[in-house]
Amino acid sequence: MRVLITYASAGAGHRRVAEAVYDYLRDNRKDLKLELVDILPFANPFFRFCYNSGYPFLVHYAIWLWGFFFWMTEFGLTRWFSRKGALISNYLGCRKFVTYLSKEKFDFIISTHFLNSELAANLKLKNKIQAKLITVITDFGIHPFWVSNGTDLYVVASGLTRDKLLNLGVEEQKIQASGIPISSSFVKTQNRAQLAEKFGINPNKFTVLVMTGSFGSGPLEEIAESLCGQAQVLVVCAKNKKLFARLQKRNLENVKVFGFVNNAQELMAVSDIIITKPGGSSIAEFLNMELFPIFISAIPGQEQENIRILAGYGIGYAPKNIKQIKELVVDLKNNPQKLQSLKKNVSQAAKPSASEELSSVIR
C-alpha cells in the first residue's frame, strides 16, 4: 500500500507530527510504501510567501489582527463565507499539489494540516482520488477549518477534543481520540542524573525549563531573571539570537542558556516543570514526559483553546504576569506533594501509543 504523510511547514508543530508518523510507520510497517511531503513547495510563490511569512508576522506584530481573523473564520455567521473564500484561494494557490494527489493514486493520505486535508477531501468528493483520508488534528481545540466532508477519520488529542468535533457535526465513528503522534524519543525513562551531567547542571535542584517554540518569543529574559534566585532555570532561546547573546552576556546565576536545540526531550527529562507556549504538538510532548506546564504568550484562538481544554483535565496554569509566574513556581517547588498530584493529571492525559494506534487503522 502507498501511504502519503503530508503537512504544511508553516509552523514546526505540523511538520513534527508528520515526521513522527512517518518515522513510526517506516520502522514498524515494512509493508507500506511511504512518502513524506510538504505542501508548500507545490504552492505558487505568493501563496507560499503568505503562509511562511504572514503567520509569523501577525503573531509577532499584529496579534490582535490574527485573533480577529481566527474569530471571523470560526464564528457561525461569517464562517460559511470565509470558508468558501479560503477554499478558492487554497485551490488556486496549490493546484500543483492537487494534480500531484490526482496522479499518484495513494491508498492512504495522512494529513497533519487542515489545508492539505481540505484539498484531498474535495478530490474525494469529486471521485478524483480513492485514497482513505486521515486527518491528524494537531491542537487540543478544534477550528472548523479542520472539518472537511470526505474525511474518513479524524485522529484527535483527547476526549474533550472529540466532543468538540461532535459539536461540529462529525459522526462519532469517524473520530479516534488516540492522541497527537510524537517522536518516540519523548519517553520519561531517560536518566536524569546522566543528562544533568551532560548539561553541567545539578540533578538535585528544582529545575524549570523555559521554552516557547522556534521563535524564542515571549518574556524569557524577564522570567529567567525572576526565577534565578529560586530555582535552576534552563532557557531555550531557539532562533532568537539576540536573546541568546543577551542572556549569555548577563550570565545569571542558576541559569543555563541554549540556542536552537534538537534534544528538547533531554531538557524535559532533567526538569520538574515547564514554562511554555500552549502549542498542540509541544503539549503532547511534555505530557508524555510528565511535565506540569505553566503557559505564557498564548496566541489568540487555537492556543487559548488548548489552555481551556487542558484545564478540563486539571492541567496547566496561565498566569497574567511575571510576578504570578514566580509565585506559582515557588509554590510548586515548596509543595512537592502538590506537584506530584498535578503530575498524575498529566500522566493520565498522556497518549504514548498515539502513533501505534494510528498505524492500526492502515489496513
Which CATH number goes with the domain that contains 328?
3.40.50.2000
The Cα 238–Cα 214 span in angstroms is: 5
- What pLDDT was estimated at residue 21? 98
- For each of the chain's 363 residues, which pLDDT tens digit applies? 999 999 998 878 899 999 999 999 999 999 999 999 999 999 999 889 888 877 777 777 777 777 777 777 777 667 667 777 777 888 899 999 999 999 999 999 999 999 999 999 999 999 999 999 999 999 999 999 999 999 999 999 999 999 999 999 999 999 999 999 999 999 888 899 999 999 999 999 999 999 987 777 889 999 999 999 999 999 999 889 999 999 999 999 999 999 999 999 999 999 999 999 999 999 999 999 999 999 998 988 889 999 999 999 999 999 999 999 999 999 999 999 999 999 999 999 999 999 999 999 999
| Other Cβ atoms within 10 Å of 138 Cβ, number | 28
Residue range 118-142, pLDDT digits in tens: 999 999 999 999 999 999 999 999 9
Residue 314 forms part of a structural domain? yes
Q: Are residues 207 and 316 in the same domain?
A: yes
Out of 181, 216, 235, a domain closes at 181
Residues 167 and 201 in one domain: no
Q: What per-residue confidence (pLDDT) applies to 220?
A: 94
User: In which element (H, E) is residue 245 found?
Assistant: helix 241-250
> Does 214 lie in the same domain as 173?
no
Q: Does 282 lie in the same domain as 200?
A: yes
- Calculate Rg over the CA atoms of the chain: 21
Within-domain flag for 300: yes
Q: Is residue 230 within 8 Å of residue 208, measured between CB atoms?
A: no
Q: Looking at the structure, do residues 219 and 266 belong to the same domain, yes or no?
A: yes
Q: Give Dmax (Cα) for the chain.
A: 63
- The reply to whether 355 falls in a domain is no
Q: Are residues 221 and 302 in the same domain?
A: yes
- Whether residues 197 and 176 share a domain: the answer is no
Burial of 156: CB neighbours in 10 Å, binned 0-12, 13-18, 19+: buried
228 located within any domain: yes
If one counts the domains in the chain, the total is 2
Whether residues 9 and 63 share a domain: the answer is yes
Strand partners, 111: 6, 135
Residues 234 and 321 in one domain: yes
Domain boundary among 158, 181, 204: 181
Domain end position, chosen among 134, 155, 181: 181
Do 239 and 173 have their domain in common? no
Q: For 217-257, what is each residue's pLDDT tens digit?
A: 889 999 999 999 999 999 999 889 999 999 999 999 999 99
Sole residue written with cell 486535508: 117
Give the domain extent around 225.
192-349
| 52 in a structural domain | yes
Flag whether 357 is in a domain.
no
Please list, in sequence order, all residues whose beta carbon lies within 8 angstroms of the beta carbon of residue 299, skipping any fewer than 6 positions away.
59, 63, 66, 277
Do 170 and 288 belong together in one domain?
no
DSSP class of residue 50? I
Does 316 reside within a domain? yes
- For residue 37, give the CATH number of its domain: 3.40.50
SS3 call for 150? coil
Q: End-to-end CA distance of the chain, in Å?
A: 9
> Can you give the pLDDT at residue 331?
97
Question: Is the overall model pTM greater than 0.85, yes or no?
Answer: yes
186 belongs to a structural domain: no
155 shares its domain with 9: yes
